[in-house]
Chain A
Amino acid sequence: MTERPTDAPLWQRSSGQLARLKSRHRAERRFKAYGIAALVTAAGFLFLLLGGIAYKAHPAFLQTSIELSVYFDPAVIDPEGTHEPEVLRRADYGALISRSLAELFPEVTERKEKRALQKLVSPSARHELRALLLDDPGLIGRTERISFPAASDLDMLIKGQIARDVPETERRLSDRQIAWIDALDEQGAIDLGFNHRFFTNADSRYPETAGIWGAVVGSFFTLLMTLVLAFPIGVASAIYLEEFAPKNRWTDFIEVNVNNLAAVPSIIFGLLGLAIFLQVFELPRSAPIVGGLTLMLMTLPTIIITTRAALGAVPPSIREAAYGIGASPMQVVTQHVLPLALPGILTGTIIGMARALGETAPLLMIGMVAFIMEIPEGPFDPATVLPVQVFLWADRPERGFLEKTSAAIIVLLVFLIAMNAIAIYLRKRFEKKW
């Protein structure tokens, strides 16, 4: 017997139906809750990861500098007044800096003490001074206030990474040195400012002048080579396989192999690159051209697979329409199928490139792990790339490289996010409805 009163509206259900309905709603709510919980967990870990890196990295974007009055003494730089660049290049700039420091602290006379005082300024300060003078030889004979990178230990002290209250023997800075630093600070010679060197320099032995720009340029040339080679070859192969090739055992064989290649560990491609590009073709070691070629091998299968998927997703009705009006197979592909598949192709390519940007292992095999202090000027110059730079810095014992490692990770992530954003933008931009 039904519990529904005969005059009740249709949507009133019996208690059995109501119970079932309730349990269905409960199941739905439960499912939603699981989903939200999973999302929150994932977001939490992501936040912890990124937050941790950002927290460790942020001091790297600041750098302590020391401002000193430097007298460009002609007697030291160019005693004979030749103005020859060769002479200017050879001059002892370290002596100029030592003299400026000595003027500030005349009481320091002992040799060992003097050395300790000089250690407050980065060893690369004299290179900067030389570059400054070579740029403008008119400085000779003048006195200028010049801002030098402080040595890493001083930098660490200012940033609070070296504690003052530990016993002197367990500290990298002596009590004397700390006293000098405080004196300099009082004069206003010490300044914690934006670390522009990090964004303009290549790698360096000293953390205070090590920069990411060399790796960024290296990554750029490497990815450029990868893109220029992998995009046309990959898209053309995919178009041929998807649109023109007969379906037979050969094309099946090729398809299976392309899919397998996509799953091959990247280090194998590195070995292949080593064997072919370095040993057979004898291309230069550590160069973006070889890195690009090796990463191309790795990216090609990804581009072929995503391009084929994008082509296959174009509705057959568009092909029929074009054929029906008398378009040739080539016209059908280039004028109708490709434009519709383009968003998918571009997305796949950029995702492939993003993977290549983050790839380290194959590049280790072809020698892109070298310590390179020059910013590469072309794809044939020795270079390193961002993930390898992270790897190299993570290996350095100096404390100052700890924050640099995290900062390099941040830069790498920024590039990856930018590339993915471009992929999304392109997909939206070229997406057409049919």
Chain B
Amino acid sequence: MAVSAEESRDAVQDAGGGVTGEVKMATRGLDVFYGENQALHGVDIDILESKVTALIGPSGCGKSTFLRCLNRMNDIIETCRVEGEVTFDGADIYDRAIDPVQLRARVGMVFQKPNPFPKSIYENVAYGPKIHGLANSTSELDEIVEVSLKRAGLFDEVVDRMAEPGTSLSGGQQQRLCIARAIAVSPEVILMDEPCSALDPIATARVEELIDELRARYTIVIVTHNMQQAARVSQFTAFFHLGEIIEYGKTEKIFTDPAEQKTQDYITGRFG
């Protein structure tokens, strides 16, 4: 039996849809506007700690917009206006007292297209810790760079070429470099916007493995157009459509027994 969108949102709030655990980030009544256009309509969601949450939905439904609300990257878009509440460990991140620069150190981001800085591999990873003053000495910085590259599964491939530009790596390596760069500042949440869309299947598999390993330490939110990928890497899945959350719940539930007809249609490829 199909449940209405209203009821499914209630289910999220009392975690009845199988969404149980420590809440890391949450949104309530989140509306986002680009000028006159409303891109998100009253989105409520709880993102659980140390879990991978996948966001799926047809193109233009507001997944990236939503993701960018979680670390206030929308602030740099002139026309963008955000209303509603977004919390991080219970604190409203759109509060005046919150500095977006500090927030982004705790909520890192990996983009769709690998975008390493046109600097050396070492500099790419060391940049974040440097600006946030996370290392007291060069040896400490070296260690942070090494650990981050190891966690991103890139260390062995680049250990002899740390001084080469990050842009000289292959696409898949660049994306893992961007992941290393994001984890070098020890964030608590990592947002990934279609991190594998520019990668081949082998590089994709490596990044997926990596996401699985990273889950132990970080809370991950990932946007993907690949249903298999969502099913493989995530524990929870939210289905977006036209700026609203249609359904949110455990990944197995969404993929095997969705409550909504639209979800069913989307994951079976009948629209989108």
Contact = CB atoms under 8 A, between A and B. Distances in A.
A340 interface: yes
B161 interface: no
Interface string A300-331: 00000000000000010111111111111001
B181 A325 contact: yes
Contact of A247 (B78, B111, B117): B78
Contact of B108 (A319, A325, A340, A432): A325
Contacts of B47: none
B117 A318 contact: yes
B167 A323 contact: no
A159 interface: no
A281 interface: no
A318 B185 contact: no
Given A318-B115, A320-B73, A320-B115, A326 B78 contact: no
B117 A327 contact: no
Given A320-B73, A433-B167, A327 B115 contact: no
Given A326-B101, A434-B167, A321 B116 contact: yes
A328 B99 CA distance: 10
Given A247-B78, A433-B167, A323 B117 contact: no
B97 to A, nearest CB: 17
- Place the interface of chain A in its size category: 20 to 34
Contacts of A427: none
Contact of A336 (B71, B117, B128): B117
Interface in B1-19: none
A341 to B, nearest CB: 12
A328 B73 contact: no
B54 interface: no
B76 A319 contact: yes
Nearest to B76: A323
Contacts of A246: 78
B106 to A, nearest CB: 8
B115 A325 contact: no
A325 B128 contact: yes
B76 A317 contact: no
Contacts of B76: 319-320, 323
Contacts of A320: 73, 76, 109, 111, 115
Given A326-B131, A327-B101, A317 B73 contact: no
Contacts of A434: 118, 167
A317 B104 contact: no
Contacts of A327: 101, 127, 131
A328 B165 CA distance: 23
A323 B181 contact: no
Contact of B185 (A323, A325, A331): A325
Interface string A407-434: 0000000000000000000000000111
B144 interface: no
Contacts of B141: none
A43 to B, nearest CB: 37
Given A326-B102, A327-B101, A317 B111 contact: yes
A317 B182 CA distance: 15
Contact of A321 (B115, B165, B185): B115
A246 B78 CA distance: 8
Nearest to A322: B117
A334 to B, nearest CB: 11
Contacts of A432: 118, 165
B132 A326 contact: yes
A318 B114 CA distance: 10
Given A324-B182, A327-B131, 7 more contacts: A246-B78, A320-B76, A324-B71, A324-B73, A325-B182, A326-B102, A328-B101
10 contacts: A247-B78, A317-B115, A318-B115, A320-B115, A321-B115, A321-B116, A321-B181, A323-B76, A325-B108, A326-B185
